[in-house]
Structure 1
Amino acid sequence: MTLDELVAKLQVPLAKISGVHRLMRYLAHIGFFDVVRIQENQEEKEAYALTNSSELLVRGTNHCLSSVAEWVLDPSILTSYHHLGKWIHDDGDQTPFALALGTGIWDFLSKSPTHMRSFNDATANDSQIINLALENHGAVFEGLESIVDVAGGTGMIAKYLSETFPHLKCIVFDLPKVVENLSGSNNLSYVGGDMFQSIPKADAVLLKWILHDWSDDDCIKILNKCKDAVSNNKKKGKIIIIDIVIDNGRQDVFDTQAKLQMDLIVTTYYNGRERTAEEWKKLFIETGCHNYKISPLTAYVSLIEVNL
């Protein structure tokens, strides 16, 4: 699309066209868009094209992350980062998010339907990417008859699993407010509850982007509830974790940068943390989970199988 086509499509006022050009020049320089030459009416013109990065924001695709971007860039959410200095000098346990908005993120979401909807849309967008990655990891679900997606939101991953493995009974487990109006199918159901109290029984428990939201002490509590959920079965259960593993500089510098940025994000919002392989190992040992395997799922996240 040429600059003229772009400003016409966006209905940009004449006085702002120069600003749009300078913005696109910057975005092209950092690789978010590409600058190409096209033929139009027998004349060669400069135009902008999508790159792998900008294609991730195209709505209606199975790899769209536009809702994630909208959530992260929400003005009220962004105020959290302005309180990092205050948080560092504060001797309490409040997050920068709580210092900025006067309440923790989960309480904030429960009282703001608009932000809760935005948050759920963002997690659903992310789950689409995870589903694409899981296509090559079907073996992790072999032999399972049931699985609980803990804090599974609207159930994007569970829907994928229920369709891909029709024999697999999938349960989406989340707070009652999240799942109360959602309907399942033959092998997909929604259950409301609190993962710190109990988790529905199943052969396996899935934790996607869950443990990085919590402190080590809380993670141990969650993992113990997961162990309770998959115990007392005739066959050994497993816990499947999809989360970041920081590799201490042994990987691509940009991948590591993204992981360290996420570490700051979960610190700001939740008092959570991203963990190295050694820190994951410590968590597993403290919960008696000695049989585990860490495998790359994408360049960004890993697949951790904990077999009990």
Structure 2
Amino acid sequence: MASSINGRNASEIFQGQTLLYKHLYAFIDSMCLKCIVELGIPDIIHNHGQPITLPELVSILQIPPAKVSQVQSLMRYLAHNGFFERVRIHEKESYALTAASELLVKSCELSLAPMIEFVLDPTLSNSFHQLKKWVSEKDLTLFDISLGSHLWDFLNKNPALNKSFNEAMASDSQMMNLALRDCNWVFQGLEFIVDVGGGTGTTAKIICEAFPNLKCIVFDRPQVIENLSGSNNLTYVGGDMFKSIPKADVILLKWILHNWTDKDCIKILKNCKEAISNNGKRGKVIIIDVVINEKEDEHKVTELKLVMDITMACVNGKERNEEEWKKLFMEAGFQDYKIFPLTKYLSVIEIYP
């Protein structure tokens, strides 16, 4: 009979060890991404115009000979995980970009490199060493504990990091251009929209370009929108969404509500309801956010949504399933809602008063 411990055979135990070590060393995945962005490797391959050999890559990077094998290990690991493709050019092994690493080319329109740079800034990423203390402290966010203030207050007091945050959010918003090509109906026929928490206006500009007759206000913290200039159908307004929101036919909340507690979300939604109840029309609120659906989503998609849930929990926010969203809407006074898929992990939710 095969030996067992605690009723589990050796095969199960070794599988458990593999899973444990995979997550134990998962931080290396993030650091490898940060490394290739800092080295500019995706840009180098992109500018090379074709797959690049390791000798060509290390020559451009001016890597010391003693570190060439370490760069090879980095590239091999990231290729194994889908960030590069190993191909043969003239019988030489070369590295090509994949869909994932193309998103790290800084010169491309759809670049998420700023997201890597912001999320993995040591000031923020080191905060996660305080998770044990955070779960024991009532009401405090992770950043209250690690940085001495809420994340938003900390960003307000640190212009360089605040700039990095805005660039990260703008890079994510560029993905909306691709997503909106297949769901223009969301904004079809609208006259006046307010993009609450719209940052520097990347999403709003995309919407305005697609719908030139649609007037749009980007509404965010005064320090975010200062020195920004609008256009014929785009204006910037500073304010506090917890106090009031400019009047409009439609309110857009992209990646906003997951940052906040249920209580805060209900307050924001009530202000949204007030803002669209101004002219007798049946306005609506458009939410672009995560909807957890473990029964129907692919395992990897659910994995992403759940890790995002932990990230949002650290600022006392959360990702929500449909029932949790519905509860918020009803408590804020809305009567109906519809959910539509948008990207692999984001959905569009329309709610009606």
Q: Does 1:283 align with 2:334?
A: no
Per mean C-alpha deviation after superposition, the further-off stretch among 111-120 and 6-15 is 6-15
In the alignment, structure 1 residue 293 sits paired with structure 2 residue 341: no
Report which stretch shifted further, 58-67 or 275-284: 58-67
Determine if the alignment matches structure 1 residue 82 to structure 2 residue 126. no
Aligned to 2:116: 69
> In 2, Cα distance between the equivalents of 1:157 and 1:24?
34
Whole-Å separation in 1 of the counterparts to 2:67 and 2:308: 34
State the distance in 1 between where 2:221 and 2:136 align: 33
Q: By how many angstroms is 1:248 displaced?
A: 2.1
Q: CA deviation at 1:196?
A: 0.4
**More moved, 135-144 vs 253-262:** 135-144
1:249/1:256 contact within 8 Å kept:
no
Q: Distance in 2 between matches of 1:12 and 1:217?
A: 53
Give the TM-score, by structure 1 length.
Answer: 0.96
| Structure 1 residues 214-253: aligned runs within 5 Å | 214-253=260-299
In structure 1, C-alpha distance between the alignment counterparts of 2:294 and 2:80, rounded to whole Å: 29
Aligned to 1:98, the other structure's residue is in SS state: helix
CA contact (8 A) 1:128 1:157 kept: yes
- The residue that corresponds to 1:201 in the other structure is 247
Provide the rounded CA distance (Å) in 1 between the counterparts of 2:295 and 2:304. 12
Query: How many Å separate the matches in 2 of 1:101 and 1:227?
Result: 34
The runs of 5 or more residues in structure 2 that have no matched partner are 1-51
Query: Which digits, 9 at most, give the CA deviation of each residue in 1:73-118, with x for residues without a partner?
Result: 111110111000111222x211112211111101110011100100
Once the two structures are TM-superposed, the CA of residue 165 in structure 1 deviates from its matched residue by: 0.7
Inter-partner Cα distance in structure 1 for 2:293 and 2:255: 17
The question of whether the paired residues in 2 share the 8 Å contact of 1:170 and 1:189 is answered with: yes
Residue 148 of structure 1 is matched in structure 2 by: 194
Q: In 2, distance between residues paired with 1:70 and 1:114? A: 12
How far off its partner does 1:143 sit? 2.4
Equivalent residue number for residue 63 of structure 2: 12
1:198-229 CA distance string (max 9 Å, x none)? 11111000000000000000000000000111
Q: How does 1:11-30 map to 2 (within 5 A)?
A: 11-30=62-81
Matched ranges for 1:70-219 at <5 A: 70-90=117-137, 92-219=138-265
Aligned-partner Cα distance in 2 for 1:251–1:160: 28
Larger deviation: 285-294 or 164-173?
285-294
- Partner SS state of residue 212, structure 2: coil
Answering whether residue 98 of structure 2 is matched by residue 47 of structure 1, we say: no
SS of the residue corresponding to residue 167 of structure 1 reads coil
Shifted more, 159-168 versus 239-248: the winner is: 159-168
Contact 1:196/1:221 (<8 A) preserved: yes
Deviations 1:25-49 (A, max 9, x none): 111111111111001xxxx100111
TM-score by length of 2: 0.84
* Contact 1:98/1:104 (<8 A) preserved: yes
Alpha-carbon distance in structure 1 between the residues aligned to 2:271 and 2:77: 49
Identity of aligned residues (%): 59
Question: In structure 1, how many angstroms separate the alpha carbons of the residues matched to 2:135 and 2:292?
Answer: 23
Does 2:323 correspond to 1:272? no
2:87 and 2:144 mapped to 1: Cα distance? 45
Asked if 2 retains the 8 angstrom alpha-carbon contact of 1:62 and 1:129, the reply is no
Relative contact order: is structure 1 or structure 2 higher (C-alpha 8 Å, sep ≥ 6)? 1
1:19 alignment partner AA: Q
Moved over 3 A (4+): none
Contact 2:248 2:278 (8 Å CA) reproduced: no
Cα RMSD of the aligned pairs, angstroms, is: 1.0
Give the C-alpha shift of residue 249 in structure 1. Answer: 3.5
Deviation at 1:163, TM superposition (A): 1.2
Instruction: Figure out how many residues of one structure are paired with residues of the other and give that number.
Output: 302
- 273-282 or 230-239: bigger deviation: 230-239
Cα deviation for residue 135 of structure 1 reads: 1.6
Aligned with 1:28: secondary structure? Answer: helix
